[in-house]
Amino acid sequence: MSVAAAPATARPRKPAPSRLLIGGLAGVVAITVWAAIQIDFTLTPLFTDLTNGWVVIEQFLNPNWSYLGRTWSAWVETVSIAVIASFFGVAVGLLFAFMASRVTNRSGWLYQATKWFLAVLRSLPDVAYVLIFVAIVGVGSMAGILALFVFNIGIAAKLTSETIDAVDPGPLEAADAAGAGTAGRSRWAVLPQILPNYLSYALYIFELNIRASVVIGYAGGGGIGQVIQVQFARFNYENVSAIVIAMFVVVLLIDQFSQYARRRLV
């Protein structure tokens, strides 16, 4: 009693991979080979020089906790720099955000100009700003504040302008119908809608600024990063290690606090 065999349809042939895929993969391989050659990428030191490095790594594994007590003022400085730079950066960023959205900026050329300006602002890394301001106002926290301030404008404006693009058009129509001008409709029809997101971005930017403080200080912008740089230059790796671990705890705490606050806002 055999079951009638199902009509044997031939198994469909597997479609050939698309040319786009093959081209894309070839491109990726080519770029990778080029990049690896360009930077002389090699992993051999991992096997040959691990013992050389071990002396240093050993120091990292024995952090000098007593040193932390002497860095207190640098920590306060780092947080203060982040507070001021985020506050003013985010405030100015809001203005640019309104100018970088079609919803609130009805002037075509000003919109395009703002978009370009912000793209240029964002394409320079934060460390470049630190170097500029160190050259202008000298080494110290003022340079760090100014660098982060400029950097924050770019991020705040981008994130906020995208939120403005997506606002509910109802209140805008109501404001237009009631005869509100550009400023009026931005203030009363748009701002209340984006405020929770905007405040959440502000906290996020504050987090970023704390994380960036190592880089900022390293390049001469004051705060804990500067202490790391000095200790590193003096080969005091056990001090660097203690600061790095403390840094990790501080970042984690601030992230937790900020995430909690953001969840309540949005």
Partner 1 sequence: MTLPTESATARPQEPSKLRATLGALALVAIVVGGGFFANADWGSLSALFTEGWKYFGLMVQGVVQNPFAEPYSEYWLQALTGMLESIAMAWVGTLIGALLSIPLGFLAARNVAHPVVVQVTRVILNIIRTVPELIFAIILLLPIFGFGATAGALALGVGAVGTLGKLTAEALEGIDPGPVESARAVGANGAEILRWAYWTQVLPEVLAFWLYRFEINIRASAILGIIGAGGIGSILNQAFRYREWDFIGILFVVIVVVTLIVDSISGAVRHRIIAGEKAKSRDEDTASEAEALL
Name the one range near partner 1 by CB under 8 A: 96-104, 106-114, 171-179, 216-224. 216-224
- Asked if residue 191 binds partner 1 (CB under 8 A), the reply is no
Structure-token match 């606002």, residue found? 167
- Asked if residue 29 binds partner 1 (CB under 8 A), the reply is no
Name the one range near partner 1 by CB under 8 A: 106-114, 171-179, 181-189, 204-212. 204-212
Hey, is 49 helix, strand or coil? coil
From 89, 126, 154, 172, residue interacting with partner 1 (rule: CB under 8 A): 126
Complex with partner 1: residue 28 or 181, whichever CB lies closer: 28
Task: Report the residue count for the chain.
Answer: 266
In angstroms, the CA 34 to CA 41 distance is 10
Name the one range near partner 1 by CB under 8 A: 37-45, 63-71, 98-106, 180-188. 37-45
In the complex, minimum distance from the CB of residue 97 to partner 1, in angstroms, rounded to a whole number: 13
By CB under 8 A, the residues from 62 to 101 that bind partner 1 are: 73, 76-77, 79-81, 83-84, 87
By CB under 8 A, the residues from 106 to 125 that bind partner 1 are: 119-120, 123-125
Query: Which tokens go with 150?
Result: 């400029």
Residue 115 and residue 98 in contact, taking contact as beta carbons nearer than 8 Å? no
Residue 224 and residue 75 in contact, taking contact as beta carbons nearer than 8 Å? yes
Closest among 62, 80, 35 to 241, alpha carbons compared = 62
Query: Which tokens go with 190?
Result: 């748009």
* Site size with partner 1, rule: CB under 8 A: 71
Closest among 131, 128, 136, 190 to 154, alpha carbons compared = 128
Q: What is the per-residue binding string for partner 1 in 140-159, x denoting contact by CB under 8 A?
A: xxx--xx------------x
Complex with partner 1: residue 135 or 178, whichever CB lies closer: 135
